[in-house]
């Protein structure tokens, strides 16, 4: 159980890291190519917001699984 707990903690940090990395890349891409984003009706940061919502949902689910595992270890 403790091994699974450590794997889930690592998964949480991986999910957060991927979100931060893709968000930084998307900001960089917007500032280097603003003309591409001017053609769409949605704001350029909408993808970051959607990814943030999915990241939050995944992290909350993983925290709930960790909470159940901690409860079971005791």
CB atoms under 10 Å from CB of 12, counted, come to: 19
User: What is the pLDDT of the chain when averaged over all its residues?
Assistant: 93
Query: In this predicted structure, what is the pLDDT of residue 2?
Result: 79
* Residue 72's pLDDT band (cuts 50, 70, 90): confident
Cα–chain center distance at 65: 17
Q: What is the pLDDT of residues 10-19, one digit of tens each?
A: 999 999 999 9
**Cβ contacts of 62 within 8 Å, gap of 6 or more:** 8, 11, 12, 15
Q: How many domains does the chain fold into?
A: 1
For residue 1, give both structure tokens. Answer: 């159980």
Q: What is the pTM of this model?
A: 0.86
Q: For the chain, give the percent of residues with pLDDT over 70.
A: 100
Between CA 6 and CA 4 the distance in angstroms is 5
**Average pLDDT over every residue of 24-41:** 92
Domain that holds residue 39: 2-73
């Amino acid at each position: 159980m403790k091994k699974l707990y450590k794997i889930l903690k690592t998964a949480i940090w991986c999910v957060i890291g991927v979100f931060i990395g893709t968000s930084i890349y998307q900001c960089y891409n917007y500032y280097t190519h603003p003309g591409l984003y001017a053609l769409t009706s949605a704001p350029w940061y909408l993808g970051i917001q959607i990814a943030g919502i999915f990241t939050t949902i995944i992290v909350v689910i993983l925290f709930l699984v960790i909470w159940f595992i901690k409860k079971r270890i005791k």
